[in-house]
Amino acid sequence: KAIEYLRAGLKGDASDQDSLEMIANCCHWAGRNDDAMTACRDALAANPVSFDMHAMLAQLLAEKGEHEDAAIHARKGLESYPEPLPEIPRIIISAFKVLSRIMPRLFSAASPDEALRRVEATRAEWFDWAKRYLSWYDLTYGDKVKPIEH
């Protein structure tokens, strides 16, 4: 249902980057990998330097055995790898802790600091995967590698 709602919302603006990326994520989470790859490509048409879309597309293509395209997107993902997320000021973390005691149901999710650490860990895992994958790809295909097109 979420994918349908997101697609319906795109009718007004087919270049809505956030919606395009969320469609790709929803398709991926639902196991609809071909649809996820199509959605990644749509999102990359709107924003060619989206780290998240290059990262997802590289892994999906690699799983499918489309190694040349996967390597291209892995390299582009590395080129657009985001800067580390800034530290959240202690005052905000303290306020969050106080509010979570006052309204535990409202703030039952992880703290913002924990959420940022998870995002960084996920990015670091992808970075390690991409480096290993490209190393394997270059060893396997060597001089048959086409230059990256920008």
User: How far apart, in whole angstroms, are the C-alpha atoms of residue 85 and residue 75?
Assistant: 21
150 pLDDT above the threshold of 50: no
For residues 149 and 32, the model is more confident at 32
Average pLDDT of every residue of the chain? 79
**Residue 146: phi, psi to the nearest 5?**
-80, 150
> pLDDT tens-digit profile of 58-90?
999 999 999 999 999 999 999 998 776 566 566
> Which pLDDT band, with edges at 50, 70 and 90, does 149 fall under?
very low
97 pLDDT above the threshold of 50: yes
3-state helix, strand and coil shares in percent for the chain, rounded to the nearest 5 = 75, 0, 25
What percent of the chain shows pLDDT beyond 70? 65
For residues 118 and 48, the model is more confident at 48
> Which pLDDT band, with edges at 50, 70 and 90, does 117 fall under?
confident
> Which pLDDT band, with edges at 50, 70 and 90, does 57 fall under?
very high
Question: Which residues, 6+ apart, have CB-to-CB distance to 119 below 8 Å?
Answer: 85
Residue 105's pLDDT is what?
53
130 pLDDT above the threshold of 70: yes
Q: Is the C-alpha dihedral spanning 118, 25, 33, 16 positive or negative?
A: negative
